[in-house]
Amino acid sequence: MNLSFHNKRITGMLTIVPAEEIKFEDEMENYNFSTAKSLKLKAAMGYNARRIVKEGVCVSDLCIHGLNYVFDNGFLAREDIDALILVTQSPDYLMPATSSVIQGHFGLKQDMICMDISQGCAGYIIGIFQAFMLLEQEEINKVVLLNADVLSRKVSKKDRNSSPLIGDAASLTILEKAEGSGRITGNIRMDGTGATALMIPAGGFKLPSSAATAELKEDSAGNFRSLDNLVMKGDEVFNFVQREVPPMIERLLEKAGVGRDEVDYYMFHQPNKFMLNKLADKLNIPREKMPSNIVESFGNSSGVSIPMAITYNLKDTLKDKDYRMCLAGFGVGLTWASLLITIGHLDFCAITEF
C-alpha cells in the first residue's frame, strides 16, 4: 500500500557499532569448505570484517550507549522525548518491551509512549512510518526511533550461510514535526506465506528452547546449526528480493512523480554486495548512487544497515546539505518497504563505538 506524510523531518542520526571486529579469514576454519571456496564466497558477497557484540551484550546496552551519547553532547533533552520506539528482533526479554526497560533506566517522564516493533530488515522504514503517525498527535513533538539487533548471538558459528555476514549494531534517529517539509512518500507490502524464509525456530512459546533445540545438526549444504539458531533460506530470499524490490521502487517513484535520476542516493538494506549490485543493475541505477560498502566493514545488521549506510557514507556532509534519498528494506516477514524522503541539515550525524 502507498503511504504519504507531510510536515515531518529527521533531525538527527547516530549509529552505534560494537568495537569488536572479526575478520572473515579468522573464521574460515569454522566452515566445512575449502579455503579456495571460502575466498570465492568472500569476494562474491563482499565479506571482509564485521562487528559483533561481546558475550552477554544486549540491544538495551547499545541503545543506552547511544542515548547517553546524544544526552551528553546536548543533542537531545531527556524531557523532550514524547515517544520511544524500538525496532528489534532480538529484545532483552520476551516481556516486558525493551523500550520500557530503556525508559526505566533513564527515568524518563511517564507522560510518553514506549513501544517495541518486531521487524527486521525492513524495520527501520516501518519505524519511521510509526514515528510519523505518532507525530500526527498534538502532544507528540519528538520521537526517538531506536533500531537495534544483536543477532550474531543467534547464529551458529559453523553456518557459512549466515555467520560470515551477520553484524550487530544499533541506530538512533530523531524525528520531529516540521512545517513545509514537502511530501514524503512511502509504500509497504507483506507476504506472510514466506514467514519461514528467515526465522529462529526455537525460543518462543511455540517451541521453547531446550537441550534438544540446542543440538547442532548438519544440513544438506554442510552447515551446522540448531533450532535455537537463525536460519535463512538464501535462495528464497534472493528470489523474493529480485522479484519484489525493483517494481516496488518503480511504484514509489511513480507515486511521488520523481524520476529515477532525481534521487541523490538509494540507501538500501545491506544484505551483501552480490544482491545489492544485482538490484542496482536491475533498476538501472548507477552503483555509486547505491552504496554497498556496509557489509564489508560492519556486516549485515538487519534494519540498522539502512541508517548505517546513511551515516557511514554521508556523515561529513549531511549536517550542511540536503539529499533526496530513496530508502528500501526487505526481508523477514516477508516484508518489503520503501520511502522517498529528503534528509539533511541534521543537528547531528555520527557513528560511535560501544
Contacting positions for other proteins (CB under 8 A):
33, 37, 40-41, 44-45, 160-161, 221, 234-236, 238-239, 242-243, 274, 278, 281-282
- Closest approach, Cβ 220 to other proteins, in A, equals 8
2 vs 242, beta carbon nearer other proteins: 242
Least distance from C-beta 121 to other proteins, angstroms? Answer: 18
SS3 content of the chain, % helix, strand, coil (to 5): 35, 25, 40
Nearer to other proteins, 38 or 88 (CB): 38
Smaller CB distance to other proteins: residue 243 or 287? 243
Supply the minimum distance, in Å, between the C-beta of residue 162 and other proteins.
11
Alpha carbons 21 and 29: distance in angstroms, whole number? 17
Q: How far is the CB of 160 from other proteins (least distance, A)?
A: 8
Q: Write out the three cell numbers for 234.
A: 538464501
Which residues have CB under 8 Å from 233's CB, separation 6+? 196, 197, 198
Contacts of 11 (CB under 8 A, 6+ apart): 174, 175, 176, 178, 346, 347
Please report how close the Cβ of residue 15 comes to other proteins at its closest, in angstroms: 29
CA–CA distance, 295 with 48 (Å, rounded to integer): 8
How far is 86 from 304, CA to CA, in rounded Å? 11
Contacts of residue 257, defined as CB under 8 A and 6 or more positions apart, other chains included, come to none
Residue among 4 and 239 whose Cβ is closer to other proteins: 239
Nearer to other proteins, 203 or 234 (CB): 234
